[in-house]
Amino acid sequence: MKLKRILALLLAMTMIIGSLAACTSSQQPAEEPAEEPETVEEEEDEENYETGDASLDDPLNQDGIGINELLVVSFGTSFNDSRRLTIGAIEKDLAAAFPEFDVRRAFTAQIVIDHVQKRDGEVIDNLEQALDRAVANGVRNIIIQPTHLMEGFEYNDIMDTVDKYADAFNMIGVSRALLSTFEDMDEVAKIVHEETVQYDDGETAIVFMGHGTEAASNRVYADMQDTFNKLNYKNYFMGTVEAEPSLEDVVKAAKDGGYKRVVLEPLMIVCGDHANNDMAGDEEDSWKSTFEAEGFEVICNMKGLGELQGIRDLIVKHCQNTIDFMDEDFGTGDASKDDPLNQDGIGEKELLVVSFGTSFNDSRVATIGSIEKALAAAFPEWSTRRGFTAQIIIDHVQRRDGEVIDNFEQAMDRAVANGVKDIVIQPTHLMAGYEYDDIVASAANYADAFDSITIGKNLLSSDEDFTTVAQIVHDSTAQYDDGETAIIFMGHGTEHESNAVYPKMQETFKALGYDNYFMGTVEAEPSLEDVLAAAKEGGYKKVVLEALMIVCGDHANNDMAGDEEDSWKSTFEAEGFEVECIMKGLGEFEGIQQLIVKHCQETMAEAGF
């Protein structure tokens, strides 16, 4: 299925695998090739261990390339052999998959770059140098493909840096990290399981070592443990060097399970310092030594995830999704019918309507546009304006249709320039999740720029909201309520705690007696598998699919109603259901529009307007 969403919600995780070699250790650490480093300490000048021949590696910083570049961004490692076998192998597979792009390299760890140059004379670009090189080479279209496991601190730094180059290229897109969805986790877990299945003898615990981070993305390690458990890999355990689950946690799990042997593997793209020292070192506090001290026989697998073909294929898949999105030119309606609401010369009161956005022109007009019009009609004394939070949507619409839509910061800067004194920000977001949190955080930067800043509630903010929305969607689908039809709504899903809105909506359906109404999500829980099981258990013959999203965009058109074999439509058809898709966003319903107006009225009243 095409996941054309590029800038996605945080969700990640880590993992590694490979054939197991005898446990070896290196003598001196080179660097900290972590996915989520807190700090990278200065390494010692002298090294005497062998890390391989640097001349076998290609730093991919050549000039004189074409207009299309695929920049592969990695944390990096100074272990030459591992760099070539992991990062280098990923780069080669991407080059083979996308011959129309010139593949280039960038590392984000400056200490690794400096160390390799000092020791081996090999020059590797950092991200800024690689992007400057692309500009100098006349590149017009650039895809950034991170090799990072999760969308944490390092990934966010990439996004911040790339944002500074937004005007330097005609087209710029950033792919997702390796573990960005539950589907990714399932796939990685299966890959590493297949690589280690020979150790699944009932007496061996297979333990993966991740880095660990202070970022919220550390939750991916617990999610990976949940994935192992869900797939019935009961002897597979996830730990981290610097966070939770800890070494103590996995030692306890192995002891509680009565295992006699432990296989240790790093859950990292490369096999660098953490694998060679923290995991497999001979120091008494290494993972190897700790398990041996507890009486376990220990085998260490010295292989980075990047060496595994399945992992590289998954990264290629993520890159393909990004390119599919960037190359998209499907018919989405006439953009000229849309009003981007970014005019200047307004009064002192502004109502800024903030949406994620969609590049589907017809849906944008019918949903976001309709909400904006309803708000403008309800508050004529306020000048209604628009802001989108998805920069990739903004860029795509501008490139394809020539329509300019402000992002949130641009809209706020425009308001300042227009002399606005009081600004009310009304999000159209379904939930108070990551996107909503970002709006609140960004708005705080403008606290001194206005006399007042007020932020409205998201759509589903109270029990009353859930009931109202459930009744609206029920009324719009009542004609299908024939006893043989399951009406299923598809939400996005998120790693944020706000994902609780989806099971709550299911509870609301049940409380209202809508027993044939079901709630699922693309990227979280309840899942497609959950709603499929519910439809089968209910004995329904027909399924009606509709998106529980403000717009009818990529998710609705592809994940839900697409012809790919893993779309919701195809999945239900394969199970023998007759399927009908309703291609309508929530924003098209007058009841939804008026609920948002109501939220805005309540917000203004609380603010004294």
Secondary structure (3-state) at 261: strand
* CB neighbours of residue 463 within 10 Å: 11
Is the separation of the CB atoms in 344 and 406 below 8 Å?
A: no
Q: List CB contacts of 550: < 8 A, sequence separation 6 or more.
A: 355, 356, 367, 368, 371, 428, 429, 430, 459, 585, 586, 587, 592
d(CA 221, CA 214): 12
Beta strand segments in 150-194, E? 171-174
Active site residues: 492
How far apart CA 263 and CA 256 sit, in angstroms, is 16
Largest Cα separation within the chain, whole Å, is 77
DSSP code of residue 175:
P
- Beta carbons within 8 Å of 15's beta carbon, 6+ residues apart: 149, 179, 188, 189, 191, 192, 208, 210, 224, 267, 305
Angle 170-173-177 from CA coordinates, rounded to 5°? 165
Select from 42, 116, 108, 125 the least CA-distant residue to 82: 116
Q: How far are the Cα atoms of 363, 379, 382 from residue 332, in angstroms, in the given order?
A: 8, 30, 31
Q: Which of 213, 201, 224 is nearest to 299 (CA)?
A: 201
